[in-house]
């Protein structure tokens, strides 16, 4: 009984310490709150949106390009105005956040898992395994991401799932290469020799020792990649590939809205742009703070 209680406190303690450490930076706390808020908004989009922007019977072309605060024929107010099709921008942002977050996080995470697996394997085993994996990485990195995405989207067809696949294919090699670089350095350190002397299995060493020590770098790269996944999705939309236009992500909203930028209808592109910025910035700030807290050498 007492033994069980002891183990719980022992597991709890590092997390508390970690949380306390995180809280010491007010900016990071704010970013975390904002991020949680954004995720909540994205999750609750169908409940809190004034309009379902994906339901074409609710969108009316005759309401298009209304400035923020104006009223529709049916009397609802467009807080942030409407876009070229008459979509309520606020609702479109809520729904778009959802799409963008899902696409960004899903592709970032999948790419991370794939990339880390290959990167660590390459660094740990070295030799032919390393050579083979790194040549594949070279291969992957040697074609411009936009082109890989283009070809993939042609082969697969459009849609959110296809975009995620394309983004993973584009991004995994980046993780793999970065992780391998860090892991090679870590591999040469004393604790790795110690681990090997203890005759721990390769999986234990890889996941139990090498990975945690690569974590700070991983977090930096992962936050960057989630951000750039969202950004890349926007760019693909700009080039005319990607999500269906009737179900726009933030990136697509920005891309479509830019046509109206110069004619003074700034809100179509500006508000989704700000939403994207806030989202990605809060992800990055949280990631930064996590890294500072997690880095064992900084904590020392």
Partner 1 sequence: MRALFGLGLAVMLAVAPPVAAQTQNTLTLGVRSETSSIDPHWTQFPQDKQVEDHIFDRLVALDHNSRPVPALATSWRPVNDNTWEFQLRRDVKWHDGKPFTADDVVFTFNRLRAGIPGAPASPGFVLANGNKRIEKVDDHTILIRTDGPFPIMPEEMAFFSIVAQHRAADAQPSVDFNNGRAAIGTGPYRFVEFRPGERVVVERNPDYWGAKPEWDRVVFRPITQDASRLAALMNGDVDIIDYPPTPDLPRLRQQGSRFAVSEIASDRVIYMQLSFRDVEPFVRNADGSPATNNPLRDVRVRQAMSLAINREAIRDRIMGGSALPTANIVPPGFFGHSEALRPDPFDAERARQLLQQAGYGQGFRITVHGPNNRYINDQAILEAIAQMWTRIGIQTEVVTMPRNIFFTDVIRGDPMSLPGFDVGKFSVWLSGWGTATGEATYTVRGLLESFNPEAGSGNANWGRYTNARVDSLSRRARITIDSAQRLPLLVQATEIGLRDYALIPIHFQVNNWAHKATLQHKPRVNERTYAWDITRR
Partner 2 sequence: MSVFILRRFIQSIFVVFTMTVIVFFGVSVIGNPIDLFAPQECDQRCLADLKVRFGLDRPIWEQYVVFLGNALQGELGKSFQHGLPALHVILQRAPATLELATAAVFLSVVIGVPLGMWAGLKPDSFSSRAIMALSTVGFSVPTFWVGLIFIMVFALWLGWLPAIGRGSTVDVFGIELSFLTLDGLAHLILPAMTLALFNIALVIRLTRAGMREVLFTDYVKFAHAKGLSMRRILSTHVLKNIMIPVLTVVGMEFGGTIAFAVVTETIFSWPGMGKLLIDAIEVLDRPLIVAYLMLVVVLFVMINLVVDILYSVLDPRVRLGDQAR
Per CB under 8 A, residues contacting partner 1 are 56-57, 59-62, 64-65, 84-86, 154, 158, 239-241, 244-246, 258-265
Angstrom distance (rounded) from CA 221 to CA 92: 29
Residue 181 found at the interface with partner 2 (CB under 8 A): yes
Minimum distance from residue 47 beta carbon to partner 2 (Å): 27
What CA–CA distances, in Å, run from 51 to 64, 85, 90, 246?
A: 14, 13, 9, 14
Minimum distance from residue 76 beta carbon to partner 2 (Å): 29
User: Which segments of 62-141 does DSSP mark as H helices, in order?
Assistant: 89-125, 127-141
In this chain, which stretch among 50-58, 79-87, 96-104, 143-151 interacts with partner 2, using CB under 8 A?
143-151
| Residue 288 touches which of partner 1, partner 2, none (Cβ within 5-8 Å per kind) | partner 2
Minimum distance from residue 227 beta carbon to partner 1 (Å): 24
Residue 161 found at the interface with partner 2 (CB under 8 A): no
Long-range contacts of 200-206 (CB under 8 A, 24+ apart): 202/124, 202/125, 205/124, 206/120, 206/121, 206/124
Angstrom distance (rounded) from CA 6 to CA 2: 6
Angstrom distance (rounded) from CA 108 to CA 198: 35
In this chain, which stretch among 7-15, 70-78, 92-100, 129-137 interacts with partner 2, using CB under 8 A?
129-137
Minimum distance from residue 83 beta carbon to partner 1 (Å): 10
Residue 17 found at the interface with partner 2 (CB under 8 A): no
Residue 285 found at the interface with partner 2 (CB under 8 A): yes
Minimum distance from residue 36 beta carbon to partner 2 (Å): 18
Beta bridge partners of 182: none
In this chain, which stretch among 11-19, 32-40, 54-62, 181-189 interacts with partner 2, using CB under 8 A?
181-189
> What is the sign, positive or negative, of the torsion defined by CA atoms of 124, 129, 133, 134?
positive
| Residue 259 touches which of partner 1, partner 2, none (Cβ within 5-8 Å per kind) | partner 1
Select the residue interacting with partner 2 from 108, 115, 248, 251 (CB under 8 A).
251
Residue 180 has a CB neighbour count (10 Å cut-off) of 25
Angstrom distance (rounded) from CA 118 to CA 36: 31
Helix/strand/coil (H, E, C) string of 168-223?
HHHHHHHHHHHHHHHHHHHHCCHHHHHHHHCCCCHHHHHHHHHHHHHHHHHHHHHH
| Residue 251 touches which of partner 1, partner 2, none (Cβ within 5-8 Å per kind) | partner 2
Query: Which parts of this chain interact with partner 2 (CB under 8 A)?
Result: 27, 126-127, 130-131, 134-135, 138-139, 141-147, 150-151, 154-155, 174, 177-178, 181, 184-185, 187-188, 216-217, 220, 224, 227-228, 231-232, 234-235, 238-239, 251, 254-255, 258, 261-262, 269, 273, 276-277, 279-281, 284-285, 288, 291-292, 295, 297-298, 300
């Amino acid at each position: 009984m007492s033994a069980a209680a002891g183990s719980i406190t022992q597991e709890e303690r590092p997390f508390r310490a970690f949380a306390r450490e995180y809280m010491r930076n007010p900016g990071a706390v704010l970013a975390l709150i904002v991020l949680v808020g954004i995720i909540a908004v994205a999750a609750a989009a169908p409940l809190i949106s004034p309009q379902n922007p994906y339901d074409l019977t609710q969108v009316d072309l005759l309401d298009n390009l209304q400035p923020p605060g104006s009223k529709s024929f049916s009397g609802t107010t467009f807080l942030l105005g409407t876009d070229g099709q008459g979509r309520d921008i606020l609702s479109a942002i809520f729904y778009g956040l959802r799409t963008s977050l899902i696409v960004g996080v899903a592709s970032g995470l999948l790419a991370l898992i794939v990339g880390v697996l290959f990167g660590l394997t390459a660094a740990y085993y070295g030799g032919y395994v390393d050579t083979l994996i790194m040549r594949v990485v070279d291969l992957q990195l040697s074609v411009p991401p936009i082109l890989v995405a283009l070809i993939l989207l042609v082969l697969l067809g459009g849609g959110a799932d296809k975009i995620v696949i394309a983004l993973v294919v584009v991004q995994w090699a980046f993780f793999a290469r970065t992780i391998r670089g860090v892991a090679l350095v870590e591999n040469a350190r004393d604790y790795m020799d110690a681990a090997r002397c203890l005759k721990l299995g390769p999986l234990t060493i890889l996941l139990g020792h090498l990975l945690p020590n690569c974590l700070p770098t991983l977090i930096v790269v992962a936050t960057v990649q989630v951000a750039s996944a969202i950004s890349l999705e926007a760019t693909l939309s700009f080039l005319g590939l990607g999500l269906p236009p009737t179900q726009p992500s933030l990136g697509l909203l920005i891309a479509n809205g830019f046509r109206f930028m110069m004619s003074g209808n700034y809100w179509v592109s500006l508000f989704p742009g700000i939403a994207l910025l806030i989202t990605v910035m809060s992800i990055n700030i949280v990631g930064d703070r996590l890294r500072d807290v997690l880095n064992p050498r900084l904590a020392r």
